[in-house]
Amino acid sequence: MIPAALSIALLLSSAEALPADNAAPLFNSGRQRGAPSPGTPIGDQTSAAEVLTLAKAIETALVSNIETKIAGGQSKAARAEALSSRSGLLPQAGLNASYDLSFDVPYGRANELNQNFNAALSADQLIFDFGRTRKRWHASRAKARATEQSELATRQAVVLNVRLAFLDVLETRALVEVGRKTLENNERHLLQTEALVEAGTRPTIDLVKLKSEVAAAKASLIQAEGNERIARAELGFAMGQPLSPSVEVAEESFAPLAFETLSTRKLFDKSLDRRPEFAAQRATIQASALQLEASEKNLWPALYAGAGLGWSWQRFTEPFVSASIGLRLSWQFFDGLGNRGVEEAARASLSVEELRLKLQEQQIYTAIEEASLNVAAAQSALTAMQEALLAANELLRSAEERYAAGVGSIIELTDAQFDVAEAESKRVRSHYALAAARAHLLQAVGVEAWGEAL
Residue 110 belongs to some domain of the structure: no
Residue 101 belongs to some domain of the structure: no
Question: Closest Cα to residue 54, out of 131, 161, 150?
Answer: 161
What's the pLDDT score for residue 10?
Answer: 34
Residue 450 belongs to some domain of the structure: no
Q: What is the CATH number of the domain that holds 192?
A: 1.20.1600.10
Residue 223 belongs to some domain of the structure: yes
| 210 contacts 410 by C-beta, under 8 angstroms | yes
pLDDT at residue 446 is higher than 80: yes
Residue 399 belongs to some domain of the structure: yes
Lowest mean pLDDT among 21-30, 49-58, 68-77, 196-205: 21-30
Lowest mean pLDDT among 117-131, 141-155, 162-176, 316-330: 316-330
438: part of which helix (H) or strand (E)? helix 410-445
Q: What length does the chain have?
A: 454
Lowest mean pLDDT among 220-224, 307-311, 319-323, 444-448: 319-323
What's the pLDDT score for residue 199?
Answer: 81
Q: Give the model confidence (pLDDT) of 102-125 as tens digits.
A: 776 666 565 667 778 889 999 999
Residue 268 belongs to some domain of the structure: yes
- Checking phi first, is residue 312 left (phi over 0); if not, alpha (psi -120 to 50) or beta? beta
**Total domains, the chain:** 1
- 425-441 mean pLDDT: 97
Q: Is the dihedral of CA 403, 409, 413, 419 positive or negative?
A: negative
Question: Which residues lie closer than 8 Å to 73 by C-beta, 6 or more apart?
Answer: none
Rg of the chain over CA atoms, in angstroms?
Answer: 38
What's the pLDDT score for residue 49?
Answer: 65
Determine how many CB atoms are found less than 10 A away from the CB of residue 42. 7
- Domain containing 73 equals 4-91+131-299+338-445
Q: Give the model confidence (pLDDT) of 126-154 as tens digits.
A: 999 999 999 999 999 999 999 999 999 99
Residue 317 belongs to some domain of the structure: no
Of 108 and 314, more confident: 314
What's the pLDDT score for residue 75?
Answer: 95
% pLDDT > 70, the chain: 86
Residue 169 belongs to some domain of the structure: yes
| 139 contacts 309 by C-beta, under 8 angstroms | no
What's the pLDDT score for residue 41?
Answer: 34
* Amino acid present at 235: L
The average confidence (pLDDT) of the chain is 86
What's the pLDDT score for residue 26?
Answer: 38
Dist CA 157 CA 165 (whole Å): 12
